[in-house]
Amino acid sequence: VESLPEYVPDQDVFFEYFGQVTKEKYEESIRNMVKGYPVEAMLPYIFEQDRLTAAFLIGIAKKESNWGKRTPKLRGEECFNYWGYRGPGNRGMTEDGYGCFEKPSDAVETIGNRLVELSELRLTTEPANMVVWKCGSSCASHSPESVRKWISDVDIYYRQFAEK
């Protein structure tokens, strides 16, 4: 009996094709959802992130800025902060503490890295455990309803895209 060569999944043409098709469908579904919103221009950078981070970027951007329709400005100029990120951007911060970025790729990289960092610290990516994004170190000053609503709203998009 002739022995078969060792199976190497990374070299399987079928799985390579299937992975590409799945990636294309995943990206197409996000493109269709955000079509016409400012965040659409950020998709090339969002798609560079892993799927869990991308799902958070989409979900949080919807909740915090309606995908870029309501954003902080620095001296009247766009900050590309669609996530309500409070912290320094590479252009500084607005008067009320929001990070301001030179260009969309800078924003996605900074926010994406922060989301990865938070998920590693919390050992999870579940929206309920990432509410620190909304509240900071404590949700005591937020109503329980607003906290539940944030989790629920972000979870809608997170579930839709993280699991594809």
Beta bridge partners of 86: 98
Look at residue 13 in the predicted model and tell me its pLDDT: 55
d(CA 31, CA 11): 30
Q: Is 73 helix (H, G, I), strand (E, B) or coil?
A: strand
Beta bridge partners of 93: 99
Look at residue 94 in the predicted model and tell me its pLDDT: 95
Look at residue 9 in the predicted model and tell me its pLDDT: 56
Look at residue 8 in the predicted model and tell me its pLDDT: 61
Look at residue 107 in the predicted model and tell me its pLDDT: 97
Give the global pTM. 0.78
Local structure of residue 136 (DSSP, 8 states):
T
Look at residue 130 in the predicted model and tell me its pLDDT: 80
Mean pLDDT by 10 residues, the chain (164 residues): 60 54 84 96 95 90 95 96 93 94 97 90 77 81 88 82 64
